[in-house]
Amino acid sequence: MNLVGGTIAGNSATNRGGGLWTERLAARIRGTLLADNTAPVGPDCYSVPTFGEPVKLTSRGFNLIEDDADCSMRATLPTDVIGADPMLGPLAANGGPTRTHALLAGSPAIDAGIPVVGSGFFACRPQDQRGFPRNGACDIGAYEF
């Protein structure tokens, strides 16, 4: 699974992996925001090797992960923002067809995302989840400030 430009926030689990849990499916994340999730173990991300296989979560850069204590990623990259509060608004109707978490002024996700606009895994989409155009450097996650 490739996850590009997504926001996974405000979810909860009673066991582990409140945000993103990878176990049998390998996942690569790029330009993705994982924050404000709750679980006793791995609130924002939880990744476990299975049957002697390697860890299943790989960063491809430009991610913001508020709590990566149990992510067990292969590696983080210099473009990843780890341990920072993303300063998200509540899930709300911010325009567009779906509800989103707005980035608040001063968020470390603003202009810290994938530097190339276009299509494919190594670019951010020209529009955010709401259909609003990206401006300047892409923001991390599904919402463009």
Q: Average of pLDDT values for 65-93?
A: 91
Residues 17-33 pLDDT 10s:
889 988 777 889 999 99
CB 12 within 8 A of CB 36: no
Q: Which of 100, 25, 34 is nearest to 67 (CA)?
A: 34
Q: What is the pLDDT of residues 31-51, one digit of tens each?
A: 999 999 999 988 998 887 666
- Which pLDDT value is given to residue 52? 66
- pLDDT on residue 47: 82
Q: Is the pLDDT of residue 113 over 80?
A: yes
Query: For position 132, what pLDDT does the model report?
Result: 96
Report the pLDDT value the prediction gives residue 49, as an integer from 0 to 100.
66
Amino acid 112: pLDDT: 97
Backbone angles phi, psi at 58, to 5 degrees: -130, 130
- Pick 70 or 130 by higher pLDDT: 130
pLDDT of residue 41: 87
Strand, coil or helix: what is 7?
strand
> 69: pLDDT confidence band, cut at 50, 70 and 90?
confident
Q: Beta strand pairing status for 2-4 and 88-92? A: unpaired
Mean pLDDT in the chain? 90
